[in-house]
Amino acid sequence: MSVDLQETQPGPNNAVSGDDAPDAKQSEKAEVQAYFESTGFERWNRIYSDSDEVNKVQRNIRIGHQKTVDEVLSWVQDQGNLVGRSFCDAGCGVGSLSLPLAQLGAGSVAASDLSAAMVTEAARRAAEAGISDERLSFSVSDLESLQGRYDTVICLDVFIHYPQAPAEEMVRHLASMAEKHLIVSFAPYTPLLALLKGIGQLFPGPSKTTRAYTLREDGIVAAAASAGFRPVRRSLNQAPFYFSRLIAFERG
């Protein structure tokens, strides 16, 4: 499969569906990491900011992503007082969720990302915002290596890098770290997106084939169920070039 990680992002123009062979998993992760340490970091750091140096597609992704973040912040507040609750933001990027969570009074937020560049920028933004280290901590880690127990585990817009079976495995792993709540977002598989992707592949070009995976929601829900979690809220956040299913699960 050719690789173009120009904007690996929930969106009809660059989403695929399928599973890679297990032995390709590590090299694929290394490529994702290299991307988010370099050009991907530059690009996403701009998207997740107020910078005017974004094109129309990137601006729409910014809008769609902000809807997802805002919705998560609203849901976690509906779940109860944030004080005294511990959060894990897995694949935190530049801290678009972690920072406001801490600012809203979360007891503790453990934010991590595969990319050291992302984590460094997130920590810089946190320091600039005057958020204390006790409230918000950062580490460089892939999702697979995460450990610990948290009241709430959240993973937003990271599963785009995971085919179906590894994504389901990851849902089970993240669920094992969550005492009460698990919130994930992903680009949902739909026949329409598959069709659009198929049409895109008829016209090969530099950004037609990206390794971005859409996921079947029933598989994600079943994986969470097998770990003892049931879906309690779901939404679909859309903007042109952004398409993200958000699901909140609760234990029990």
Ligand X SMILES: C[S@@+](CC[C@H](N)C(=O)[O-])C[C@H]1O[C@@H](n2cnc3c(N)ncnc32)[C@H](O)[C@@H]1O
Among 11, 12, 93, 200, binds ligand X (CB under 6 A): 93
Question: Does 151 help bind ligand X (rule: CB under 6 A)?
Answer: no
Question: Does 57 help bind ligand X (rule: CB under 6 A)?
Answer: no
Residues 154-183 that bind ligand X (CB under 6 A): 156-158, 161
Taking the complex as a whole, the smallest distance from the CB of residue 179 to ligand X amounts, in Å, to 21
Stretch that binds ligand X, among 76-84, 90-98, 173-181, 206-214 (CB under 6 A): 90-98
Strands 150-155 and 229-239, by their bridges, are unpaired
Question: Does 121 help bind ligand X (rule: CB under 6 A)?
Answer: no
Question: Does 16 help bind ligand X (rule: CB under 6 A)?
Answer: no
Residue whose C-alpha is closest to residue 190's, from 3, 11, 39: 11
Stretch that binds ligand X, among 99-107, 108-116, 221-229, 241-249 (CB under 6 A): 108-116
Question: Does 29 help bind ligand X (rule: CB under 6 A)?
Answer: yes
Question: Does 142 help bind ligand X (rule: CB under 6 A)?
Answer: yes
Question: Does 92 help bind ligand X (rule: CB under 6 A)?
Answer: yes
Q: Of the two residues 59 and 225, which places its CB atom closer to ligand X in the complex?
A: 59
Taking the complex as a whole, the smallest distance from the CB of residue 6 to ligand X amounts, in Å, to 13
> What residues line the site for ligand X (CB under 6 A)?
29, 32, 36, 44, 48, 91-93, 96-97, 113-115, 118, 142-143, 156-158, 161
